[in-house]
Amino acid sequence: MAPRIRASRTTESRRDRGINSYRCRVCRGIHPLRTCHHFLRLSPEKRLRAVLINKYCGNCLAHQHSGQDCRSGGLCRVCGKNHHTLLHIPSSRRPVRSASGASSPSTAPHVKRRPRRPARSASAASSPSTSAHADRRPRLPVSRPVPGPPAPSVDSLLQHRSLIILPTALVVLDTGSKNFETAALIDPCTPVSCIDDSLASAFKLPTTCVGDEKVCTAVIRAKMGDFQLETMLKVEPRVRIRTPIRQLSDSVRARFDDLRLADEQFHRPATISLILGADVYPKVIQPGFLAREDGLPVAQSTVFGWIVSGACTQP
């Protein structure tokens, strides 16, 4: 191959790599994300979702690294938090003002006040000998309550005759570099999917700060089949749901042996730190509902298998 042809191809290859490195992942144009007109027309919530799904840095909007490796010292110009200004989500809270126009005490700057000392009565001030004599009187011993067994929780009281089973599924959480198998609660009453902060740290999920809150993205896969779902998870300080509170009998578990269960160990107590909420519920639920008999929980078909939930009164 002639040297000129080889040099020309090398130049074209470098130019192609440069174009691809600056190609916008939102509109496929050749420009940085911060100048993308399509991105700038989005709401702050949709911008955040675009940044997380397309693996941009939440601090500087670059795509060569994650937020944890960002060396940019820039902060949000609105709130001063650790995220790009284009990702700032305005707060809906407004200061409550009184009829005179002044801010209420709840929105005023926090000022520490010294506690007022109780006023001394005239008789106590005029007769110091009486108070001194009262201080010399023997004090009676104070009786302390003897600690007893802890009071039963409300859950245990309400589930004395029946045991509540929450719908859980074993899923595969793909972080991009590793896959982790974990249990997830499928709850349409939770507005957005969320994950416990300690679990997100253990899985080393890249997170982005939005004000005082954190979010991350992950790919949820089924253990069997080709189903996968890229979802945005809100990182909560404490997501630990115990279900069930005590173990079901093996005879109850055997009533569901003919189904491909999403969680084979649904009858044994476990702590759940991942919730798939209403934002992904329509994508994971499938037609199919089974009610065995009175006293047994019901089964619902999902992309992960059959989930079991409801009250169980059988021993």
Per-residue pLDDT of 251-261, as tens digits, reads 899 999 999 99
In a domain, 154, yes or no: no
Within a domain: 81:
yes
pLDDT at 24: 86
DSSP SS3 for 291:
strand
DSSP code string of 138-183: PPPPPP-PPP-SPPPPHHHHHTSS-EEE--EEEEEEE-SS-EEEEE
Note whether 68 and 164 are same-domain residues. no
Instruction: Please report, rounded to a whole number, the percentage of residues in the chain having pLDDT higher than 90.
Output: 32
pLDDT at 225: 85
Same domain, 181 and 262: yes
Quote the tokens at residue 210.
Answer: 């939005």
CATH code, domain with 186: 2.40.70
Strand partners, 184: 169
Which strands form 163-165's sheet, in the order they lie side by side? 163-165, 305-312, 298-302, 285-291
Band of pLDDT at residue 74, cut at 50, 70 and 90 = confident
Tokens of residue 168, six digits: 């859980």
4 in a domain, yes or no? Answer: no
Q: Around Cβ 213, how many Cβ atoms within 10 Å?
A: 14
Give the pLDDT mean for 46-60: 81
On whether both 308 and 163 belong to a single domain, the answer is: yes
Question: Is the predicted pLDDT of residue 181 greater than 80, yes or no?
Answer: yes
Q: Could you give the angle at the alpha carbon of 43 between the alpha carbons of 42 and 46, nearest 5°?
A: 80
Same domain, residue pair 81 and 212? no
H or E segment at 39?
A: helix 37-40
User: Does residue 267 surpass a pLDDT of 60?
Assistant: yes
pLDDT at 213: 83
**Quick check: is 150 in a domain?**
no
Q: Final residue of a domain: which of 45, 64, 87?
A: 87
Does residue 157 register a pLDDT over 80? no
Residue that is last in its domain, among 52, 87, 122: 87
**Structural domain containing residue 263:** 159-314
- Residue 223 falls within a domain, yes or no? yes
101: in domain: no
Range scoring the smallest mean pLDDT among 17-21, 124-128, 202-206, 277-281? 124-128
Domain edge (last residue) among 53, 70, 87: 87
Distances (CA, A) of 234 to 36, 166, 191: 26, 21, 10
pLDDT tens string 98-124:
444 444 433 333 334 444 555 554 444
2 within a domain of the structure (yes/no): no
* Among 12-21, 65-74, 288-297, the least confident range: 12-21
Confirm whether 199 is domain-assigned.
yes
**Which tens digits make up the pLDDT trace of 185-201?**
999 999 999 999 999 99
Distances (CA, A) of 189 to 74, 275, 281, 311: 38, 10, 10, 18
Enter the pTM of the model. 0.61
Contact of 58 with 84, CB cutoff 8 Å? yes
Quote the number of domains for the chain: 2
Q: Could you give the CA distance from residue 127 to residue 121 in angstroms, rounded to a whole number?
A: 10
